[in-house]
Amino acid sequence: MIDNPILLFALLAASTASIAGGLMGTYIVAKRIVFLSGSISHAVLGGIGFFLWLKSQHGYKWANPLIGALFAAILSAILLGWIRMRFKEREDTLIAAIWSTGMAVGVIFMALTPGYNVELTNFLFGNILWASPTEVAILAGFDGLLLLLTFLNHKRFLAVCFDEQQAMMQGVRVKGLYMLLLCMVGVSIVLLIQVVGAILVVAMLAIPPAIAALLSNRLSRIMGIAILIGIGISASGIGIAYHLNWPPGATIALAAAIVYLIFLKFKENTSLLRSSSKRSFF
């Protein structure tokens, strides 16, 4: 990977995306809003399709699909947070509404944009091998922003994730922090789209923190472990995809699922050994 510049930049892009995934994925798993993040990841298709349509049909060179994805992710995150806080609507209903609306808008504009099927496929399923030094630098910049916001608001985010009512009683601005958290999740989703695509992004958001949660109970430690696991899974997936000529994004997501199953089995066996040792002791 180090000798091949394509694989090297792919690994750097995957590593920077794994930092965002480990940070925000930990909050997502703790807050139990994995499927809500899934609705945001599918809603970005509307922004991607719209900006591709602007670029191809109207000649707006600034209309980068990733900018469209970022715009759609933040807009859908704000809508989800505002509707939930304002109208106390069930989150599963909101997930279905945002999910279907974003995909519908994306499909319409994709149909109006002929000749961009390959580029659309890369955004849907990911193509980390296209990563350039500029994109890696942009990913690193967004990572820095997420790290800064996490450092400044970590304790308040913990209160929002585990007990909103108690946080309100202590004077924490729960609504604003929840909206900020969702927007940060939206940014991390856009970063991960570069690695595994919009459809598979939930795997890299949820699985590394879920594995890390099997190894530690402290949230800050879970974040660090999740980042390392995400980087390891991404590197393994890229290497396997390169040697077997598989799609990198799907390979990374599959590797994440296999590693999660291995850790679950390991935890089960460990629990059985502990319970059997206690029975034999007594």
pLDDT tens digits along 195-243: 888 878 888 899 999 999 988 888 889 999 999 999 999 999 999 998 8
Q: For residue 265, which of 229, 203, 226, 214 has the smallest C-alpha distance? A: 214
What CA–CA distance (Å, rounded) separates 111 from 219?
A: 43
Residue 282 banded pLDDT, cuts 50, 70, 90:
very low
The whole-angstrom separation of Cα 169 and Cα 244 is 55
Tokens of 234: 């991404």
Q: What is the pLDDT of residue 174?
A: 82
Q: Which residues contact 121 (CB under 8 A, 6 or more apart)?
A: 127
Report the alpha-carbon distance of residue 256 to residue 258 in Å, rounded.
6
Q: How far apart are CA 218 and CA 96, in angstroms?
A: 32
pLDDT at 279 over 50: no
Between residues 141 and 61, which one has the greater pLDDT?
141
Rounded-to-integer distance, Cα 184 and Cα 21, Å: 10
Say whether pLDDT at 90 is over 90.
no
- Band of residue 273 on the pLDDT scale cut at 50, 70, 90: very low
Domain extent listing, the chain: 5-281
Least confident of 31-35, 86-90, 119-123, 141-145: 86-90
**Confidence tier at 168 by pLDDT (50, 70, 90):** confident
Report whether pLDDT(277) > 60: no
* Mean pLDDT over the full length of the chain: 84
What pLDDT does 247 receive?
A: 87
**Alpha-carbon distance 107 to 57, whole Å?**
16
Q: Is 197 left (phi over 0), alpha (psi -120 to 50) or beta?
A: left
pLDDT at 260 over 90: yes
- Name the nearest CA neighbour of 32 among 213, 266, 195: 213
> Lowest-pLDDT range, 115-119, 132-136, 151-155, 159-163?
115-119
pLDDT at 269: 67
* Residue % of the chain over a pLDDT of 90: 27
Own/partner long-range contacts of 131-134 (Cβ < 8 Å, ≥24 apart): 131/9, 131/10, 131/12, 131/13, 131/194, 132/9, 133/9
Does residue 180 come out as left (phi exceeding 0), alpha (psi in the -120 to 50 range) or beta? alpha
pLDDT(253) > 80: yes
pLDDT of res. 91: 67
Render the burial of 249-279: b for 16+ CB within 10 Å, e for the rest: bbbbbbbbeebbeebeeeeeeeeeeeeeeee
Q: Give pairs for 153-161: CB < 8 Å, separation 24+.
A: 153/177, 153/180, 154/220, 157/27, 157/181, 158/30, 158/219, 160/31, 161/27, 161/30, 161/31
Give yes or no for residue 281 having a pLDDT over 60.
Answer: no
Euclidean distance between CA atoms 79 and 197, whole angstroms: 22
Answer whether 36's CB lies under 8 Å from 181's CB.
no
CATH of domain 5-281: 1.10.3470.10
What integer is the mean pLDDT of 246-264? 90
What is the predicted pLDDT for the residue at 202? Answer: 87
CA torsion 163-169-171-177 (nearest 10°) is: 30
